[in-house]
Copies of this chain bind each other. A is one copy, B any other.
Amino acid sequence: MAEDRRRKTDMTRNETGPVTLIVPSHPKYLYVVRSALYPILTDAGFGRKDARRIILAVDEACSNIIKHAYEGDPTKSITMTVAEDADRFIVRLRDYGKKADPAKIAPRDLANIRPGGLGTLFIGAAFDTVTYDTNQEQGTLLTLEKKKQRVNV
């Protein structure tokens, strides 16, 4: 066992993305959203914990669309677009339901132990910028951005 060499697949990072996933607004597709995100996140260089938190945040944002924008109607659709540029990792969620009222969207008071209100907290914990764009003809475009850690290799 003289030689022990470890190689990592060297992938020329190309910025061709984005990846788009369209799922029905039924909670059973949250698992599909999470599963599709994981390899994109590891490929983007996120560690396990960051990847988990981003997945949790996107899951919560999709749950909110199902609950609030579509009021539980499972027959509508959610479009997720995942893109990256040199500095940021960007997830966009597009729905065609009741427009979000950004003024009403706020994390709960943590001192108040009650069920609910955690979703927006988790979204804010994972992403640096959270933007609800209601200037669409129909529905809302939610943009979630996370700055990339600059690692000089």
Contacts and interface: CB of A to CB of B under 8 A. Distances in A.
A31 B39 contact: yes
A74 B23 CA distance: 25
Contacts of A26: 14, 16
Nearest to A75: B16
Interface in A6-49: 11, 14, 16-17, 19-24, 26, 28-29, 31-32, 35-36, 38-40, 43
Copies of the protein in its oligomer: 2
A24 B32 contact: no
Interface in A70-97: 74-75
Contacts of A29: 19
Interface string A38-62: 1110010000000000000000000
Interface of A: 11, 14, 16-17, 19-24, 26, 28-29, 31-32, 35-36, 38-40, 43, 74-75
